[in-house]
Structure 1
Amino acid sequence: MPHAVPPLRPGHHLQLLEGSREFFPALIAAIDAARSEVLLETYIFDFTGSGAEVAYALERAGRRGVLVRLIVDGVGTPELPPFWRDRFEQAPVQWVVYSPLGYFGLLWPGQWRRLHRKLCVVDGAAGFCGGINILDDYHDPNHGPLDSPRLDFSLRVEGPLVQEMRATIVRQWSRIAAVGQLRRAKWSGAFELLRTAAGRTAAPPVPPDAVHANVRAALLLRDNLRRRAVIERAYLRAIGRAHREIFIANAYFVPGGRMRRALVSAARRGVRVCLLLQGRYEYFMQYYASRPVFGALLRAGVEIHEYAPSFLHAKVAVIDGRWATVGSSNLDPLSLLLAREANVVVEDRGFAARLRERLVAAMQHEGQRMDAAAYERRPPLQRAKERLALIVMRALLAIQGKKYL
């Protein structure tokens, strides 16, 4: 029986962090204050620009005797640069690659099941969860320098969820070690479970006006076993209960039938539904496969705003000014059917108001609202690209034994 959406638990302190310009300083401060362990899990670790500052912080922690363990994904980060492999070995910083690509690459069944989570736990006291990779806001590995920063969010968390985050990274490290994928196994205890973080200290302080205290929150972990639908189910429940407004910002938005019907139903019962989506071309399949679903949404009165200044990588939502989520999961089949994802769900008016304010500003000042009439007049070549993208996406899912209707 698949897991139900976990209940929200009180007693959390949350700080919303926008982009690497806010996330990296908070992360580095926590790493520099670490006394026993730093556990970091990310899809992409890119050492360009400010990404290198995070790497240096990990190195500093390792050199002062902190247990530092890093998990990266085999597609997002297939290898570490030789310079950093040497520095991590000397520190030491232990690192592993989740599911490295073999000879057939992504054509091999199962290789689309990626580790897309972005989690970090420091001394068991402070945790981070969101959508931001270790990647400079002004750099894209495929497109080069960016004129404006990409839009994405993360959370700094204190409270009961931190131990859940830590246990998640512990399990993942142990599974990788068990199948012999450990890349740096020379240190004692490398194939053992991570030791309990003895001698934990309080997390480093953050500005009090940026912290939302005593917040109810839950950690949603999507995997390919019992938690296959937990993130989608949480979205559907919140959308179904919405009375006033739904704001969703999502990078790769290719919703399945249940999600489309839920959004259309909400709009038709008078709920204001606003989507902030990727407006710049990044990847062929994700960009064009999303377009065919816009028609039904626009006809139902859903507002679609395309983010224009840079790439949109946010995976967040705010509903009725109370329910919110920040995490790594897109609303597309790669996230909802295949990848390991992590989202935090929050019920708190203060936190929701802060996130809503940023999304509204992005829609009003950084987005371009889609015109329903112009959408219907899009040229035949664009429609052909959309059909091709959907065919490719469905074929790739079929290889994985999945359907997404």
Structure 2
Amino acid sequence: MYRGRVGAAARRSVPGGDVDQRRLAWVYLSRVVEGPCAALSALIESVGVVEAARAVRECALPEVLRGPTELRREVDMAERDLVQMERLGGRVVTPDDEEWPAWRLLGLGQLDPGQDADAAVPLVLWVRGRPSLSECTDRAVAVVGARCSTGYGNHATGEIAGELAARGWTVVSGAAFGIDGMAHRAALAVGGMTIAVLACGPDRPYPVQHDHLLAEIADTGLVVTEYPPGTSARKHYFLARNRLIAALADGVVVVEAGVRSGARNTVKWCRRLGRPAMAVPGPITSAASVGCHRMIREGEAFIVTRAEDILDEAGPLRLSLPGAVPPSPEDNLSRDEALVLAALPRTGSRLPRAVAADTGLPLPAVRATLSALEIAGLVACDGDGWYRLNSHATSATAAIAAAHERHR
């Protein structure tokens, strides 16, 4: 094991337990599995992160975890990783930290890993940049799309991402060629906030040609990844990365997508988390917009053409004008949210499985949608299940504030 100094990044205080021991345990486990691992997350939740790290080192594990941890369980580079992140001007953010975006990631923990192995909360997040991750994702929209973008797509992205950033919204994307890179540049051009989510280590710019762009993003915004330093990009990592892009934002906007675009995978995660997915239409003759048109036609995404449309779908509740009737939180629900809400009683409670049977929605989608409705202040749960709240007695704004405090 590397015995170098442990820097300031490893000495932040957390309630309960030795901070150095807990932080080193989080970092060690992050490298052992390199990416989402629902079984390991469940073990940590059950016995605590320090005991989970001990169990992995000694291979005192249930069968489901022996395979995923076998290759790297003897590799403990936690201290060296923390020192390297300090040298990069970055840090590791764990669930113990104040800036951990707990309420953003809550929905990932409600999904069924049996349906998708990547349906898990990241163990830690490796972050370059000075701003607080939780504060930067308070109001955020993901803008993604084709790597081989057209002039039309670049123009539309520049207009949309630039306007969102100018209005104080964080633009989240994946730093890839095409639409992703344009979204980041548009936000930077207006002095706005942008977050790049990588599918490799924080010290590995990918694509390499975006080295300067990522450095510029880290200067004023954030570069985020769940993969430890030195990790190279792999095909599967991009699919897992897409769930974080969706989770860190209030909604996902796709600008140009071909028939087999990876952006559709991001939309899948967005819908499973109960958040609005949106797509920008293009020329009917453009192969680069076929994916967007299909998502719109099949009801996977709302059609949007400007920043105002996006904020109508993903934006927070607005204060009404004097004399106007206040909008109801139920006015802009997605189809899944409306179905789930209608299936819940005002008296008594129902379990998610019963709601799934009644609505015809998959159980993981019901669970994610219930979490979104809870954050919006429309539903709550007790020991017997979920139930609707009286909209007149509950302020959605207050409920969102309470959710922030509850999940920090």
- TM (normalized to structure 2)? 0.29
More strand, by proportion? 1
